[in-house]
Amino acid sequence: MSGPVLPGATVGVLGSGQLGRMLALVARRMGYRVHVYAPGSDSPAGQVADREWNADYDDRSSVATFARGVDVVTLEFENVPAATVEEVSSAVPVRPGQKALRTAQNRLREKTFLHAGGYPTAPFREVSERSALEGALREIGAPAVLKTAGFGYDGKGQARLDAAEDADEAWEAVGGEAILESRVDFEREISVVAARGVDGSFAHHGAVENAHDRHILDVTVAPADVPPEVEREAVGITRSIFEALDLVGTACVEFFLAPGGKLLVNEIAPRPHNSGHWTIEGAVTSQFEQQLRAVCGLPLGGTGQARPAAMANLIGDLWSGGEPDWEAVCSLPEVKLHLYGKAEARPVRKMGHLTAVADTAEAAENMVREARERLTASA
**First vs last C-alpha separation in the chain:** 57
Q: Does 294 bind ligand AMP (CB under 6 A)?
A: no
Q: What are phi and psi of 50, to 5 degrees?
A: -75, -35
Task: Give the residue with the Cβ less far from ligand AMP, 93 or 270.
Answer: 270
Distances in Å between the Cα of 239 and the Cα atoms of 71, 205, 251, 284 are: 27, 12, 10, 20
Task: Give the residue with the Cβ less far from ligand AMP, 68 or 215.
Answer: 215
Contact 295, 352 (CB under 8 A): no
Q: Does 150 bind ligand AMP (CB under 6 A)?
A: no
Task: Give the residue with the Cβ less far from ligand AMP, 145 or 195.
Answer: 145
Q: Which residues pair with 267 in a beta bridge?
A: 254
Task: Give the residue with the Cβ less far from ligand AMP, 152 or 324.
Answer: 152
Give min distance, CB of 44 to ligand AMP, in A. Answer: 21
Strands 335-339 and 350-357: antiparallel
Q: Does 81 bind ligand AMP (CB under 6 A)?
A: no
Q: Does 78 bind ligand AMP (CB under 6 A)?
A: no
Q: How many residues bind ligand AMP (CB under 6 A)?
A: 14
Give min distance, CB of 152 to ligand AMP, in A. Answer: 6
Q: Does 232 bind ligand AMP (CB under 6 A)?
A: no
Looking at 267, 281, 289, 365, which residue binds ligand AMP (CB under 6 A)?
267
Give min distance, CB of 264 to ligand AMP, in A. Answer: 8
Looking at 23, 24, 122, 351, which residue binds ligand AMP (CB under 6 A)?
122
Q: How many CB atoms lie within 10 A of CB 65?
A: 14
- Binders of ligand AMP in range 156-185 (CB under 6 A): 181, 183-184
Report the candidate in 255, 221, 182, 214 with the shortest Cα–Cα distance to residue 355.
Answer: 221
Conformational region of residue 175, where left means phi above 0, alpha means psi within -120 to 50, and beta covers everything else: left
Looking at 212, 320, 321, 377, which residue binds ligand AMP (CB under 6 A)?
212
Angle at which helices 82-89 and 60-68 pack, to 10 degrees?
40
Looking at 215, 322, 326, 331, which residue binds ligand AMP (CB under 6 A)?
215
Q: Does 214 bind ligand AMP (CB under 6 A)?
A: no
- Rounded distance, CA 289 to CA 25, Å? 9
DSSP E strand boundaries for the chain: 10-14, 33-38, 51-54, 72-75, 94-95, 124-127, 144-148, 158-161, 178-182, 188-196, 202-213, 216-222, 249-258, 262-269, 309-315, 335-339, 350-357
Per-residue mark of binding to ligand AMP, 46-75 (x: CB under 6 A): ------------------------------
Q: Does 262 bind ligand AMP (CB under 6 A)?
A: no
Q: Does 189 bind ligand AMP (CB under 6 A)?
A: yes
> What does the binding site for ligand AMP look like in residue numbers (CB under 6 A)?
122, 145, 152-153, 155, 181, 183-184, 189, 212, 215, 254, 266-267
